[in-house]
């Protein structure tokens, strides 16, 4: 592939079906992305982060978001026990009392992807948790 490199930035030309490019432009315009280059860099980084999680070698980071009713019997206790058990991977927990019943928790997690996923699955799968989601992100090291 032909490439020019200047100040650590490379430029390259790509061929893409016109219709597909038009759709891509419409999509990034809707998302408020300033230009194709930025949109493409974002896509590449997104795929790199996915790969980090799939490869399972190094450390990954993420957040686990949980919404639950703290009146559900023993639920708070179960969630706290799980978090203590995985104290190495769970770096920090943010707890917000949403109303009389509902709690929102956001946990920052770091470790091997397999372990982090297991911890997230356990937390989200705990009976009484109304909604939960793992956001998979990166330590940033693979995106330099």
For Ni ion, the closer of residues 71 and 85 by Cβ is 71
Residues from 5 through 44 that contact Ni ion (CB under 5 A): none
**Does 103 sit near Ni ion (CB under 5 A)?**
yes
From the CB of 96, what's the least distance to Ni ion, in Å? Answer: 7
CB of 72 to Ni ion, least distance (A): 12
- Tell me which residue has tokens 């860099």: 41
Kindly tell me which of 103 and 120 has the beta carbon lying closer to Ni ion: 103
71 is a contact residue toward Ni ion (CB under 5 A):
no
130 is a site residue for Ni ion (CB under 5 A): no
Q: Which is nearer to Ni ion, 39 or 132 (CB)?
A: 132
- Which positions ≥6 away from 69 have C-beta within 8 Å? 75, 101, 102, 103, 128, 130
Three-class DSSP category at 126: coil
- C-alpha pair distances (Å), 43 with each of 23, 25, 40, 83, 141: 15, 13, 5, 33, 17
Q: Are 126 and 86 in contact (CB under 8 A)?
A: no
Considering only residues 23, 85, 97, 127, which one is a binding residue for Ni ion as defined by CB under 5 A? 97
Residues found in the chain: 144
Q: Which residues of the shown chain bind Ni ion in the complex (CB under 5 A)?
A: 97, 103
């Amino acid at each position: 592939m032909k490439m020019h490199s200047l100040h650590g930035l490379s430029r390259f030309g790509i061929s893409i079906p016109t219709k597909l490019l038009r759709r891509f432009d419409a999509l990034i315009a809707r998302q408020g992305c300033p230009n194709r280059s930025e949109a493409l860099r974002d896509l590449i980084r997104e795929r790199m982060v996915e790969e980090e999680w799939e490869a399972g070698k190094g450390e990954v980071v993420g957040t686990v978001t949980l919404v639950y009713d703290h009146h559900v019997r023993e639920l708070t206790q179960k969630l706290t026990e799980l978090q203590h058990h995985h104290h190495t991977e769970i770096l920090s927990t943010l707890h917000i009392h949403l109303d009389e019943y509902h709690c929102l928790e956001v946990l920052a997690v770091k470790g091997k992807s397999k372990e982090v996923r297991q911890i997230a699955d356990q937390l989200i799968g705990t009976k009484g948790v109304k909604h939960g989601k793992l956001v998979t992100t990166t330590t940033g090291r693979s995106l330099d």
